[in-house]
C-alpha cells in the first residue's frame, strides 16, 4: 500500500454507518477514551456517519438494530485487542479495522507471540513465563543478572511493567504484574535504543526513536510526560532503516496481523534488533507514535484516520 497512491474511496458514504468503539473495562480504558475523542473529531471532519460506543454491549444492540455497517475499533487491551470483539463481529459479518481474531489474540499474548517469532527466526529477548502461582527461580537470575523486566503477559501501554534492579524487588514486581494478568513474563534488559514502526496495510511508516529520562518507556513517559523526546527521522542510516522496516513488517505478518498496527523493537549496542511486541490497536492520542510517523510522510491526522478506516473495506 502506497500512501501517496489514490485513496480506495473519496466518498464517505462508502463506509456506511461507522461505529467508533472506545473505552471498555481494561486498565487501558483512559488511553482509549483520550484517543477516541481525537478519532471521533477526525471522522466528523471527514463527514463520515459515525456513532460513538463505550464498550461492546451497546454496540451489539446497535448491530442487532441494523444501525452499524462497520466498526472502527479503538479499545486497547483485553476485550479490544485480544480477539474477543474481532471474533464476535466476524460471526455477525460486520467488518472491523485492524487485525482479525488470530492476529489480535496472538499479539495480545506476549509469550505466545514470542514463541511464534522464535520459530520464525525473529530475534526477541529471552524470557521466562510464570503461570499463576509460580515464582522466579534463582538460576534464571544468576544466568541473566540484573536488571530484569517483569510484565503482564496480556496487556499493553506499559501498564503493570516494572524494571527490577535488585532481588528484593522481584516479588513486588510480580505481584504488580499479576494485578493485570495471571501469567507474567520476565526478560533480561536489552541495552540500546528503542524504535517503533507504524504499519498501514503493507506500508511501514518512518521509524521513530524515543529518549526518556525515566527508567524505561513506561505509561507516564508514553502518555503524561513532556520530557519524552521523539525522533523522526530516527537517525539510522537510510539503508539500515529500510532493512528494519522490512524486518518489522515480517514480524507483523508472522503474527497474522493486518490492517494497521505498530511494531516495537530495541536495537542493542552491537546493532542487533530485538523485537518486543506488536500493538494491533495503537494509541491515537497527542503523544502517540503512529500519527507522528504518518505526519512525517505528509499524512495529517484526518487522512490517517480515513486510511485506517479504509483498511476495513
Cα 225 to Cα 56: distance, rounded to the nearest angstrom: 31
Provide the whole-model pTM.
Answer: 0.91
Task: Work out the average pLDDT over 69-91.
Answer: 96
* 10-68 confidence digits (pLDDT tens): 899 999 999 999 998 888 899 899 999 999 999 999 999 999 999 999 999 999 999 99
pLDDT of residue 1: 40
Question: Active-site residue 246, yes or no?
Answer: no
User: Sign (positive/negative) of CA torsion 174, 177, 178, 181?
Assistant: negative
* 254-292 confidence digits (pLDDT tens): 999 999 999 999 999 999 999 999 999 999 986 799 999
Residue of 259, 264, 311, 312 marked catalytic: 264
Residue 219: pLDDT above 70? no
* 143-174 confidence digits (pLDDT tens): 999 999 999 988 765 788 999 999 889 999 99
Question: Active-site residue 264, yes or no?
Answer: yes
Question: Active-site residue 142, yes or no?
Answer: no
76: Cα within 13 Å, side-chain hemisphere: 24
Residue of 262, 288, 307, 312 marked catalytic: 262
Question: Active-site residue 283, yes or no?
Answer: yes
Task: Work out the average pLDDT over 97-109.
Answer: 96
Question: Active-site residue 157, yes or no?
Answer: yes
* Mean pLDDT over the full length of the chain: 92
Cα 97 to Cα 35: distance, rounded to the nearest angstrom: 15
> Is residue 228 within 8 Å of 217, Cβ to Cβ?
yes
- The set of residues, in sequence order, having a beta carbon less than 8 Å from that of 17 and lying 6+ positions away, is 49, 50, 51, 67, 68, 69, 70
Residue of 82, 109, 187, 277 marked catalytic: 277
- Domains (range + CATH), the chain: 12-97 (3.40.50.20), 107-123+191-306 (3.30.470.20), 128-188 (3.30.1490.20)
Task: Work out the average pLDDT over 167-195.
Answer: 93
pLDDT of residue 5: 57
Residue of 35, 283, 310, 312 marked catalytic: 283
pLDDT of residue 220: 60
Residue 221: pLDDT above 80? no
Residue of 181, 279, 288, 311 marked catalytic: 279
DSSP 206: P
Strand locations in 47-102, DSSP E? 50-54, 70-73
Amino acid at each position: 500500500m502506497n500512501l501517496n497512491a489514490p485513496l480506495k474511496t473519496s466518498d464517505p458514504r462508502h463506509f456506511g454507518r461507522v461505529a467508533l468503539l472506545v473505552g471498555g473495562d481494561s486498565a487501558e480504558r483512559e488511553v482509549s477514551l483520550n484517543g477516541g475523542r481525537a478519532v471521533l473529531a477526525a471522522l466528523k471532519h471527514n463527514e463520515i456517519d459515525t456513532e460513538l460506543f463505550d464498550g461492546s454491549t451497546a454496540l451489539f444492540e446497535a448491530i442487532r438494530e441494523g444501525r452499524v455497517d462497520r466498526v472502527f475499533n479503538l479499545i486497547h487491551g483485553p476485550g479490544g485487542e485480544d480477539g474477543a470483539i474481532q471474533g464476535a463481529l466476524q460471526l455477525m459479518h460486520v467488518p472491523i479495522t485492524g487485525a482479525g481474531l488470530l492476529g489480535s489474540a496472538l499479539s495480545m499474548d506476549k509469550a505466545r507471540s514470542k514463541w511464534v517469532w522464535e520459530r520464525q527466526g525473529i530475534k526477541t529477548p529471552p524470557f521466562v513465563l510464570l503461570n499463576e502461582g509460580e515464582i522466579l527461580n534463582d538460576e534464571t537470575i544468576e544466568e541473566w543478572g540484573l536488571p530484569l523486566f517483569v510484565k503482564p503477559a496480556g496487556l499493553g501501554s506499559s501498564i503493570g511493567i516494572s524494571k527490577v534492579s535488585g532481588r528484593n524487588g522481584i516479588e513486588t514486581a510480580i505481584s504488580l504484574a499479576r494485578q493485570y494478568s495471571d501469567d507474567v513474563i520476565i526478560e533480561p534488559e536489552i541495552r540500546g535504543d528503542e524504535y517503533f514502526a507504524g504499519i498501514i496495510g503493507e506500508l511501514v511508516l518512518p521509524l521513530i526513536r524515543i529518549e526518556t529520562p525515566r527508567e524505561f518507556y513506561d505509561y507516564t513517559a508514553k502518555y503524561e510526560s513532556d520530557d519524552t523526546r521523539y525522533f523522526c527521522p530516527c537517525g539510522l542510516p537510510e539503508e539500515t532503516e529500510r532493512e528494519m522496516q522490512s524486518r518489522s513488517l515480517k514480524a507483523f505478518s508472522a503474527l497474522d496481523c493486518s490492517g494497521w498496527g505498530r511494531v516495537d523493537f530495541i536495537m542493542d549496542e552491537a546493532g542487533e534488533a530485538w523485537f518486543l511486541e506488536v500493538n494491533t490497536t495503537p494509541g491515537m492520542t497527542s503523544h502517540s507514535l503512529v500519527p507522528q510517523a504518518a505526519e512525517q510522510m505528509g499524512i495529517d491526522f484526518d487522512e490517517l484516520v480515513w486510511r485506517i478506516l479504509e483498511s476495513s473495506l
